[in-house]
Structure 1
């Protein structure tokens, strides 16, 4: 009869142990997910027999066996073997055993019973598949099933560990203490936390305030409080929010006493944005704007600070009502502009690094926090710089000269070209007027051609200086881009940085030859080259023309020049004016006749005695005399 009852009890315990196969079920937050039915998560085996002994035979059992052996005259080993034959193990009981053999599938453990127990080898494998036990090691195991007639006793090392963890968790919950755990996974509605078993952390309990991104929590170890525990269902719900709130209030109370403008505090970088960084001062966050991070230029706050970095900041402004704090990092260091006037006086040559290029110049860092600008007009003596990138590059170290300094406006004007000699100052000495030079045609325009006579120095050949007698020549008929030509220096203007060149001056100037031969009042016979409404042009010499205006043609009033003159006609005229500046010659037919008359009269009067003749008679006789001659 006793044996029948024992068998029934063993069956009942075996049924309980079968439920422990799912002992480490994932926790479910009741506020985020629907409750799980009992049949979906069987009660943990370790909870099925909370009052069972933790070892097969306790120290008290050993004493009893020794006393019994002494009374019956048997050895301790013999009596112990008889004692084990009647000892039964309950499913869920946790005992201590010794590893006696390690196989591929099972690890054999001696728990002091008639037969040995086995634990699946997978329970001892780490992530890389290596076994974490060895023969002779003493370990805790849980009895899963027990049958006195079986070949071995099924055991579990992992379930024994979990049972021990749950014991600790229950103790923590009873004493209202905290657990340490690592957030290992993001799931719907919250996170999975490893505290020895898998626990659930609702999103609403993860931080003090909702966040857009919670990825920064993963993999980190925190303290947690227990909101709800259901050991039989394997549910454990945790919270950080109440711990964070308590910590926040504690820090906040002491922080407000320190938040005075000008105070230097230590904080942790909580978040970095495009416009600055938020610093956790311990109970309150302050904004460190990008403009207050460095005396020098920075492209992005992340170039200077990183999340979780500990930094010292100065309180710039504090509004207790709105709980807003403005912080400064650069204010913790001396302002470099306080000594700029001493370090960078105008006229001093210094070195710096190109930080940025714009359409109008380049910014150069002289030292952290002190920048100067090189305007495009101060980049080259000889080149017209349109794009600073043609001369400088970011990060390039350059030598510059300080032109001007304004400490109040924090501006320094720099020059790149003034670190070198001005080639224009000695240009007139190197290229005197009238000297002949060779150069390459750099550009051709409507008004002339630019010829490079020296590296970076171009001169202009005007359209009027390509050929004698042509005031508006087409440059393309005389030069080509890239062609090397020989020119004459006509003028050098160092102030306006201009050089005038000429090509026609390579030969003799026909104007000079003409003016050496003819003077005002000389007679000249020339061919008509063009008849216009205002007068007639005559070809006086090669590339030299003269003009007889209509009022100087000696034609009837109201008559037209083309009624009396044609191209190619030979006309005798008198030179009335020579303009060297305008290189023009004015001619006259009418004045020629008048001059001829005066000359005839003078000559006749000189050679003949006119007596009492009238002036009219004298003039008439003089003309006849002139004609006869």
Structure 2
């Protein structure tokens, strides 16, 4: 009988087989494996891993945002195996970690391909929100929630929606996502499609979505168009809220479409009749109308003649006399005013208006009341380097040029005698209505002393009267002078009865050198002298006492004899003096 032998493994063989079995199982640690739910005990699911061991997972890990349906026995699930056996002899497994690992693999692929991923906003944290990307938790910055800042994010939470991954770092476990990027992309596609179906000139309806100072944004069904404030109405609209309200439905015309930027310009007034058609016939030049002041600027005021038609009153056309005044001090907003049409430009859509033209022209009234040669009186309003400005009747200003202040003295010298506020009399020299100028003269109130007089050529030796009459002034005439000022070099004098002044030099004060002393004379004293120079062109007159004495001496010698006839010079002069004293007309007024 043959013997059979059986193999009995030794202790060492068993240990080797056991190590091999555990080694294979240990290879699954740290990975996701499949298992079957074999039992559900209270809040725990028992999962058979097929490795001669079982593990327990909390039922909460199978629940969460966007995951519905109850777990039941027999369901096959994927779990993350952390360790083969714990102190209780069970495997340590996790459904959350399995889902996270699985999600990271999918998310990395989506990130590489720039694909959108679905997630759920489930919590709010500092600076933003947390998003569940099917197990992986991502951060959603507040700035990436929407295209425009939104106050309440509650309606967006716990709702599955697409996101774009902006950044991933698996080592740190960081994921940053954006909802805004998805919206912008979707909006761009939508805008492109809508814009493609719109045409310039098309008339459509829209809803006023937002109002700003410069216009209103109108929703055209997925895309906004701008209705600028100047295209709301033909008349002036200071602010869109005067005409529009948010939520209002408006009928608009597409004025312009920019297919690159998707910007659409809209207009409402383009749907209405243009009031500028035939404007020249409606508002002819020189015609007068009534309007309402709508706007005031530094350069003038705008007046509405009818809805959609405005004209400008330039500041220069607002007042006849107020030249440097702000328009706001002449008219007020909403004031009704009478205006005159000055110019119409239908191409530039401009109407120039005048306010002063509807009022009486003060220059015409002045010229009618005060013709050239009239005497007027007014207050010195201003002194300038070229003359005086005098305030006259009717708010009209007249100017006295330096050359019209005095006949004999320089204007630069005479103007210093005037000050602002002085009342001055003057004569009207000229009125230029078009240039709005009145020329005045002060010296013209008196006659020009250098003007030629009738019969002046006759009578070479006229004598001065007691009252100081000037007689016929010319070279050789004898005149009476009043001493105005005594100086070391001579006397300032005025010819009595005239406006002439002259300076008698020291050596012209007497024939005898011993008597050529200015201190012999006093201010106010009157002396006789002879005119030695009378030049009308140069407007200059010179007088001399010495010349008069020499002339009288010659005349006396000729009349009463000479020294050769036996009479002394003293006798001759004495006789001449006695003869002069006996004649009132030739009486000297000096004390000598």
After superposing the two structures, state which structure 1 stretch, 570-579 or 378-387, moved more: 570-579
Tell me by how many angstroms 1:381 deviates.
2.3
TM-score (norm 2): 0.51
Tell me by how many angstroms 1:369 deviates.
3.4
Are the aligned partners of 2:375 and 2:425 in contact in 1 as well (CA < 8 Å)? yes
Classify the secondary structure of the residue corresponding to 1:426: helix
Alignment of 1:23-422 (within 5 A): 210-212=146-148, 214=150, 227=160, 253=193, 256-257=196-197, 259-422=198-361
Residues 390 and 247 from structure 1, CA distance in 2 versus in 1: closer, same or farther, beyond 3 angstroms? Answer: closer
Classify the secondary structure of the residue corresponding to 1:336: coil
Q: Distance in 1 between matches of 2:447 and 2:357?
A: 41
Are the aligned partners of 1:434 and 1:488 in contact in 2 as well (CA < 8 Å)? no
Q: Distance in 1 between matches of 2:216 and 2:286?
A: 40
Tell me by how many angstroms 1:347 deviates.
1.0
Tell me by how many angstroms 1:349 deviates.
1.0
Aligned pair 1:548/2:488, yes or no? no
The CA deviation string for residues 116-137 of structure 1, in whole angstroms up to 9 with x for no partner, is xxxxxxxxxxxxxxxxxxxxxx
TM-score (norm 1): 0.49
Aligned pair 1:498/2:438, yes or no? yes
Of residues 414, 418, 422 in structure 2, which corresponds to 1:471? 414
The CA deviation string for residues 103-159 of structure 1, in whole angstroms up to 9 with x for no partner, is xxxxxxxxxxxxxxxxxxxxxxxxxxxxxxxxxxxxxxxxxxxxxxxxxxxxxxxxx
Q: Distance in 2 between matches of 1:368 and 1:262?
A: 24
Tell me by how many angstroms 1:430 deviates.
1.9
Residues 525 and 321 from structure 1, CA distance in 2 versus in 1: closer, same or farther, beyond 3 angstroms? Answer: closer
Aligned pair 1:537/2:492, yes or no? yes
Are the aligned partners of 2:257 and 2:264 in contact in 1 as well (CA < 8 Å)? yes
Residues 335 and 536 from structure 1, CA distance in 2 versus in 1: closer, same or farther, beyond 3 angstroms? Answer: farther
Q: Distance in 2 between matches of 1:356 and 1:395?
A: 8
Classify the secondary structure of the residue corresponding to 2:334: coil
Tell me by how many angstroms 1:480 deviates.
6.0
Q: Distance in 2 between matches of 1:329 and 1:583?
A: 78
Residues 510 and 247 from structure 1, CA distance in 2 versus in 1: closer, same or farther, beyond 3 angstroms? Answer: closer
Residues 516 and 376 from structure 1, CA distance in 2 versus in 1: closer, same or farther, beyond 3 angstroms? Answer: farther
Number of aligned residue pairs: 409
Of residues 524, 530, 543 in structure 2, which corresponds to 1:574? 530
After superposing the two structures, state which structure 1 stretch, 533-542 or 317-326, moved more: 533-542
Are the aligned partners of 1:403 and 1:414 in contact in 2 as well (CA < 8 Å)? yes
Tell me by how many angstroms 1:354 deviates.
1.4
Classify the secondary structure of the residue corresponding to 1:454: coil
Are the aligned partners of 2:290 and 2:339 in contact in 1 as well (CA < 8 Å)? yes
Residues 562 and 504 from structure 1, CA distance in 2 versus in 1: closer, same or farther, beyond 3 angstroms? Answer: farther
Q: Distance in 1 between matches of 2:251 and 2:272?
A: 11
Are the aligned partners of 1:431 and 1:489 in contact in 2 as well (CA < 8 Å)? no
Aligned pair 1:565/2:518, yes or no? yes
Q: Distance in 2 between matches of 1:471 and 1:554?
A: 28
After superposing the two structures, state which structure 1 stretch, 525-534 or 279-288, moved more: 525-534
CA RMSD of aligned residues (A): 6.1
Give structure 2 stretches of 5+ with no counterpart.
1-58, 61-68, 70-126, 130-139, 162-178, 451-466, 577-592
Are the aligned partners of 2:192 and 2:262 in contact in 1 as well (CA < 8 Å)? no
Residues 320 and 373 from structure 1, CA distance in 2 versus in 1: closer, same or farther, beyond 3 angstroms? Answer: closer
Q: Distance in 2 between matches of 1:360 and 1:303?
A: 26
Q: Distance in 2 between matches of 1:386 and 1:533?
A: 55
The CA deviation string for residues 227-266 of structure 1, in whole angstroms up to 9 with x for no partner, is 59xxxxxxxxxx9x99999999889756633x12222222
Tell me by how many angstroms 1:286 deviates.
2.0
Q: Distance in 1 between matches of 2:316 and 2:515?
A: 57
Tell me by how many angstroms 1:396 deviates.
0.8
After superposing the two structures, state which structure 1 stretch, 345-354 or 292-301, moved more: 292-301
Tell me by how many angstroms 1:284 deviates.
2.1
Q: Distance in 1 between matches of 2:158 and 2:190?
A: 18
Tell me by how many angstroms 1:453 deviates.
4.8
Give structure 1 stretches of 5+ with no counterpart.
1-36, 39-46, 48-187, 191-203, 229-238, 611-615
Residues 589 and 388 from structure 1, CA distance in 2 versus in 1: closer, same or farther, beyond 3 angstroms? Answer: same
Q: Distance in 1 between matches of 2:489 and 2:299?
A: 53
Tell me by how many angstroms 1:416 deviates.
0.7
The CA deviation string for residues 413-461 of structure 1, in whole angstroms up to 9 with x for no partner, is 221111122132132332356767777x585758998775534235578
| Larger RCO of the pair (alpha carbons < 8 Å, separation 6+) | 1
Classify the secondary structure of the residue corresponding to 1:373: strand
Residues 475 and 575 from structure 1, CA distance in 2 versus in 1: closer, same or farther, beyond 3 angstroms? Answer: same
Q: Please name the residue that 2:460 is paired with.
A: none
Q: Distance in 2 between matches of 1:452 and 1:500?
A: 11
Are the aligned partners of 1:535 and 1:550 in contact in 2 as well (CA < 8 Å)? yes
Residues 341 and 530 from structure 1, CA distance in 2 versus in 1: closer, same or farther, beyond 3 angstroms? Answer: same
The CA deviation string for residues 15-48 of structure 1, in whole angstroms up to 9 with x for no partner, is xxxxxxxxxxxxxxxxxxxxxx98xxxxxxxx9x
Are the aligned partners of 2:425 and 2:442 in contact in 1 as well (CA < 8 Å)? yes
Residues 538 and 406 from structure 1, CA distance in 2 versus in 1: closer, same or farther, beyond 3 angstroms? Answer: same
Q: Distance in 2 between matches of 1:304 and 1:393?
A: 23
